[in-house]
Structure 1
């Protein structure tokens, strides 16, 4: 699976967001930064901890012009039921995309073989619809929204400053690198 620097594929689905069912397609992603946050299933164990962590960082992501689309192969009805019954999931205000057909999950080449479930994966999409970051973890390994936020800031910095790159552990405001002959063998 290497989707880096490829465009997202068309999709259309119903999502649960802010107490309502809304229609979402790839057209709603274009023009802004977007995170596609795939997880295996609602009413599970690691998934709510991750989704709640992203909810805790959602306001800051919004300030950066980033929209979040969580995706599982559950329906939008199941997302609503989970939202209504879990205190952790109840604080989510971002889109919870239903993907019972698996179209979105397959578009991102993220369907778990033979299970009908999405793997635990994160994709950062730029305003042109191009995938700039992707991460897939094993079933039992939860993700960290603070680290995701750091990577979003780095991707946005690099996009806004061609010819500059962000080194490991880069934090906003820290030194960057400008790759060139003068740096070869000096790092």
Structure 2
């Protein structure tokens, strides 16, 4: 079953951010745009490159009204230790959620049960807490956080402009489409 168009399911978790632990629930994803980025595990190889890249885009994401949440099945204590020991992760300012119970990973359908780890999954969630995009990649394939910017801008545009859609490779300010019977077979 596709998660597109569904509300984020309830959860409670502890996260690490800027030297502090904080409680996070699905309610945190309401009232703003959110990016939830699942990754397999702390203290690994591809994961720190992805999270550092996401941090490099964090200021622009914040300007777009987006909060970022990374999630792995590690604990919030492990996130703190990784943040303290890794130069790449030490830069991270966004919220790092611990999911040792696997509830969040199951809710987002990214848990690899046999390993107890999450797939690489990226989700864009609208201010109503509804999932708008899903991207899952294999463990060895790192994601490019800059690709999120265009997707978020398109999702925000479509939300703010009912009746319009964004074609492939749409960039902010570019032409959109207004689906109607006259367009059928002419694109």
Q: Indicate the residue corresponding to 1:92 in structure 2.
A: 92
What is the CA–CA distance in structure 1 between the aligned matches of 2:9 and 2:24, rounded to whole Å? 13
Q: Indicate the residue corresponding to 2:80 in structure 1.
A: 80
Q: Indicate the residue corresponding to 1:34 in structure 2.
A: 34
What is the CA–CA distance in structure 2 between the aligned matches of 1:84 and 1:14, rounded to whole Å? 18
What is the CA–CA distance in structure 2 between the aligned matches of 1:15 and 1:87, rounded to whole Å? 20
Give the alignment's TM-score, normalised by structure 2.
0.98
Mapping 1:144-155, distance limit 5 Å: 144-155=144-155
Q: Indicate the residue corresponding to 2:14 in structure 1.
A: 14
Give the alignment's TM-score, normalised by structure 1.
0.98
What is the CA–CA distance in structure 2 between the aligned matches of 1:29 and 1:129, rounded to whole Å? 5
Larger displacement relative to structure 2 (106-115 or 69-78): 106-115
Q: Indicate the residue corresponding to 1:120 in structure 2.
A: 120
Instruction: Say whether residues 1:68 and 2:89 are aligned partners.
Output: no
What is the CA–CA distance in structure 2 between the aligned matches of 1:65 and 1:128, rounded to whole Å? 14
Q: Indicate the residue corresponding to 1:131 in structure 2.
A: 131
Shift in Å at residue 181 of structure 1?
Answer: 1.6
Shift in Å at residue 185 of structure 1?
Answer: 1.3
What is the CA–CA distance in structure 2 between the aligned matches of 1:166 and 1:49, rounded to whole Å? 30
What is the CA–CA distance in structure 2 between the aligned matches of 1:150 and 1:179, rounded to whole Å? 21
- SS, match of residue 23 in structure 1: strand
- SS, match of residue 87 in structure 1: coil
Q: Can you give the 5+ residue segments of structure 1 that lack an aligned partner in the other structure?
A: none
Q: What number of residue pairs does the alignment pair up?
A: 187
Q: Can you give the 5+ residue segments of structure 2 that lack an aligned partner in the other structure?
A: none
What is the CA–CA distance in structure 1 between the aligned matches of 2:45 and 2:149, rounded to whole Å? 23
Q: CA RMSD in A?
A: 0.8
Q: Indicate the residue corresponding to 2:172 in structure 1.
A: 172
- SS, match of residue 151 in structure 1: helix
Shift in Å at residue 172 of structure 1?
Answer: 0.8
What is the CA–CA distance in structure 2 between the aligned matches of 1:149 and 1:44, rounded to whole Å? 26
Shift in Å at residue 113 of structure 1?
Answer: 2.8
What is the CA–CA distance in structure 1 between the aligned matches of 2:104 and 2:115, rounded to whole Å? 15
